[in-house]
Amino acid sequence: MSIVHTDREKCQGCYACVRNCPAKAIKIRDGLAEVIVERCIDCGKCICVCVTKAKQAESDVEKVWQLLSHHPDVVAVVSSSFPAALLDCKPGQLVASLRKLGFTDVMEAAFGAELISREYVRILNESEGRPIISSNCPAVVAYIAKYYPSLLSNLAPIVSPTIAMGRIIKQRYNAQAKVVFIGPCIAKKTETTDEDVTGAVDAVLTFVEIKQMFADRGINPGDDEEQEFSGPKPDLGRLFAISGGLLKVMDITDDILQNDVISVHGQDYVLRILGEIAQGDINARFANLYFCHGCIDGPFIDNELSGFSRKGLIARYTRSNADPIQTENDIEQYADIDLNRKFTGQNIYLPTPSEEEIQSVLEIIGKVDPNYRMDCGSCGYASCQELAVSISQGLAEVNMCWPYLLKKLEATQEDLIQAEKLTSLGQMAASIAHEVNNPLAGVLIYTKLLAKNISTENIGKEKSLDYLNKMDTELTRSSKLIRNLLDFARQSTPTLRLVDINQVIEQAFGVGGHQADLQNIKVIRELSPDIPKVMADFDQLQQVFTNLIMNAIQAMPEGGKLTLRTSIGNDGQLKIEVEDTGSGISQENTRKLYTPFFTTKEKGKGVGLGLAVAYGIIQRHHGRIEVQSTQGKGTTFTIYMEANHAEKG
């Protein structure tokens, strides 16, 4: 069972874990990554690459606090990688601090390495044929148990140094003692609960967790007086955390001339070599495998030192503490400790999808044609084919494919635009029907009344003229509406010529400007004589400014000030302003101004097409229209247009 789990709240669906998981043990559900516990090998890669800390490992910290407070004898066994992991204290200070926390004894796991390396030498001498694979790295063991069960019999049937130490402590030291291993690896947490070695170790802490425990108790290991490790004394076993360490203790080399001993570290190489061993392509006698680059590269060492520097620290510690005679004596003393173990395979069978299933997924994500398979890796899988297989197996989702997702978004956007267009069209049709139907209904009533009264000769000349007048008004309204509609609908490309904007404005004002006099509106012209001409359709621009000026005048029924201003901006653009001191426009209405048929004017006075028409014309002239308004104070419409600087004046 895996001890890694996902905090879905924190997961951002970046697929970094999918990309980095060597066991394909991450499943995407609703865009978020989850660990598939049966497939996970607890290598910790997903935890290291998750920037949002959504991937977490179960912690034994609470359990260890309990052990320390309830058990008289709790022994700490420290991984041989500790000199590379805990840089702020000397080895003896670490011992003292652990004792301060409540551990009765502190031992080096490296002695377990001394013992098991002798076992390795023995089985290597006895082995025939198939390559022996080292079984110290729990992530390698878990990978084989789950993904290469055919290689289980290749695994050296020997416990890891950690379990060896647990057995030494429980068999020779105190059967009641509780053993806590401290190291750089979370796969140890699963290893120690494996039913094939259960009982030797009671809890596992990472270096990061032990630092936290020191901090919680206010212990600074660098301040403590040094104390000696207890238990049997290791020698070269202290090199075990380095990838070639086991070979050094066994006194064999991975001599490339002989090529019968392979020492491989790092997940990519390990996976490749396991595949080759399973295929029967490797003739070596012994493969020493580490999922990380040795334990000194374990996921829970939190300093920035390079592998080289870490190696140096381990080597220095080993050199300066060597006592081979003492180690030999201790090995003699513990030679009868049972170091055997067996391995059990785990069924994580996932049905292989059929070719048709894979093809149908490739079809959905648009990757049937190999030319479109970019294998971009953004989904976390190395190839489109791999993604399709995982989708068929229910481990991944089609939305993980970015090119597919982009296409889907584009299609959705087009659908939305289409839907919006249809809605606007519907609103417009309803408005037209309403506007046209009302006057027609009126005319119909008056024609009927007229006909009835004429047939009964029950009508005077005056009444008849009244009816006809009313019909005239209604029909004029309809005709005006139709004219406006035609203007709006006429998307004709402007007939461009060089146009003097000041002249356009004068002409536009001439159309309805007399109304300003009647309403006591003061008209101010600030028309710059220096502005360049613009390439524009004179008539269409006149229509724009007529609409703006008429709106401004209508907004000032009680009089006010209308300013018509032209200028040239710093950016060289022409700026034309129509400013009034009228009623102003509410914020809500400002958003609707250019929507066809939006009007606040009373029936007969406005149809709500003036600004929609103006907007369309300015757009076609590649200009822009802006409005600024304060309710009760006034409104300014500003139009920006490209000036033709070649033709001044």
Distance (Å, whole) CA 159 – CA 117 = 10
Least distance CB 428 / ligand ADP (angstroms): 13
Residues of this chain, 439-468, that bind ligand ADP according to CB under 6 A: none
Closest CA to 624 of 608, 636, 637, 610: 637
When the beta carbons of 201 and 612 are compared against ligand ADP, the nearer one is 612
Distance (Å, whole) CA 305 – CA 316 = 15
Least distance CB 619 / ligand ADP (angstroms): 15
Q: Are 5 and 35 in contact (CB under 8 A)?
A: yes
582 binds ligand ADP (CB under 6 A): yes
Residues of this chain, 587-646, that bind ligand ADP according to CB under 6 A: 589, 593, 598-601, 606-612, 635
Residues of this chain, 562-581, that bind ligand ADP according to CB under 6 A: 580
Distance (Å, whole) CA 626 – CA 611 = 11
Q: Which position among 155, 365, 521, 585 is part of the footprint of ligand ADP (CB under 6 A)? A: 585
Q: Are 225 and 250 in contact (CB under 8 A)?
A: no
Residues of this chain, 489-518, that bind ligand ADP according to CB under 6 A: none
Instruction: Find the part of the chain contacting ligand ADP (CB under 6 A) among 271-279, 322-330, 411-419, 547-555.
Output: 547-555
When the beta carbons of 105 and 474 are compared against ligand ADP, the nearer one is 474
Distance (Å, whole) CA 321 – CA 327 = 11
Q: Which position among 551, 560, 617, 641 is part of the footprint of ligand ADP (CB under 6 A)? A: 551
Least distance CB 12 / ligand ADP (angstroms): 45
When the beta carbons of 109 and 611 are compared against ligand ADP, the nearer one is 611
Least distance CB 607 / ligand ADP (angstroms): 5
When the beta carbons of 66 and 589 are compared against ligand ADP, the nearer one is 589
Q: Which residues of 151-179 are buried (b: 16+ CB within 10 A; e: fewer)?
A: bbebbbbbbbbbbbbbbbbbeebeeebbb
Least distance CB 473 / ligand ADP (angstroms): 17
Which tokens hold the place of 207?
A: 């270096």
15: left (phi over 0), alpha (psi -120 to 50) or beta: left
When the beta carbons of 251 and 588 are compared against ligand ADP, the nearer one is 588
Residues touching ligand ADP: how many (CB under 6 A)?
22
Closest CA to 295 of 143, 165, 183, 166: 183
Distance (Å, whole) CA 249 – CA 578 = 92
When the beta carbons of 97 and 484 are compared against ligand ADP, the nearer one is 484
When the beta carbons of 134 and 635 are compared against ligand ADP, the nearer one is 635
Least distance CB 641 / ligand ADP (angstroms): 19
Least distance CB 462 / ligand ADP (angstroms): 34
Which tokens hold the place of 502?
A: 């000041």
Closest CA to 227 of 78, 70, 398, 105: 105
- Backbone phi, psi, residue 624, to 5°: -145, 150
Least distance CB 594 / ligand ADP (angstroms): 7
Look-up of token digits 């839907």: 419
Beta strands at 74-78 and 178-183: parallel, antiparallel or unpaired: parallel
When the beta carbons of 344 and 631 are compared against ligand ADP, the nearer one is 631
When the beta carbons of 237 and 616 are compared against ligand ADP, the nearer one is 616
When the beta carbons of 157 and 512 are compared against ligand ADP, the nearer one is 512
User: CB nearest ligand ADP: which residue?
Assistant: 610
At residue 390's C-alpha, the angle toward residues 389 and 395, to 5°, is: 155
Q: Are 481 and 431 in contact (CB under 8 A)?
A: no
Least distance CB 364 / ligand ADP (angstroms): 47
Helix (H, G, I), strand (E, B) or coil at 327: helix
Distance (Å, whole) CA 45 – CA 26 = 11
Distance (Å, whole) CA 105 – CA 73 = 8
Q: Which position among 295, 552, 576, 641 is part of the footprint of ligand ADP (CB under 6 A)? A: 552
Q: Which position among 93, 547, 566, 581 is part of the footprint of ligand ADP (CB under 6 A)? A: 547
Least distance CB 431 / ligand ADP (angstroms): 12
Look-up of token digits 């609103």: 427
When the beta carbons of 290 and 598 are compared against ligand ADP, the nearer one is 598
203 binds ligand ADP (CB under 6 A): no
When the beta carbons of 93 and 546 are compared against ligand ADP, the nearer one is 546
When the beta carbons of 344 and 600 are compared against ligand ADP, the nearer one is 600
Least distance CB 547 / ligand ADP (angstroms): 5
Q: Give every CB contact of residue 461 below 8 A, 6+ residues apart in sequence.
A: none
Least distance CB 587 / ligand ADP (angstroms): 13
159 binds ligand ADP (CB under 6 A): no
Look-up of token digits 């600024």: 628
When the beta carbons of 199 and 559 are compared against ligand ADP, the nearer one is 559
Which tokens hold the place of 523?
A: 């008209």
Count of CB atoms situated within 10 Å of the CB of 214: 20
Distance (Å, whole) CA 586 – CA 225 = 77
Q: 534 burial class (0-12, 13-18, 19+ CB within 10 angstroms)?
A: buried
Least distance CB 577 / ligand ADP (angstroms): 12
- Backbone phi, psi, residue 192, to 5°: -70, -15
- Backbone phi, psi, residue 421, to 5°: -60, -45
Q: Are 62 and 8 in contact (CB under 8 A)?
A: no
Closest CA to 512 of 560, 475, 564, 548: 548
Least distance CB 613 / ligand ADP (angstroms): 8
Distance (Å, whole) CA 304 – CA 520 = 81
Instruction: Find the part of the chain contacting ligand ADP (CB under 6 A) among 130-138, 364-372, 446-454, 549-557.
Output: 549-557
Residues 270-299, mask of contacts with ligand ADP (x by CB under 6 A): ------------------------------
Residues of this chain, 42-81, that bind ligand ADP according to CB under 6 A: none
According to DSSP, residue 50 is labeled: -
Instruction: Find the part of the chain contacting ligand ADP (CB under 6 A) among 28-36, 291-299, 438-446, 583-591.
Output: 583-591
When the beta carbons of 318 and 547 are compared against ligand ADP, the nearer one is 547
Least distance CB 592 / ligand ADP (angstroms): 8
In the complex, the residues that contact ligand ADP under the rule CB under 6 A are 547, 551-552, 555, 580, 582-583, 585, 589, 593, 598-601, 606-612, 635
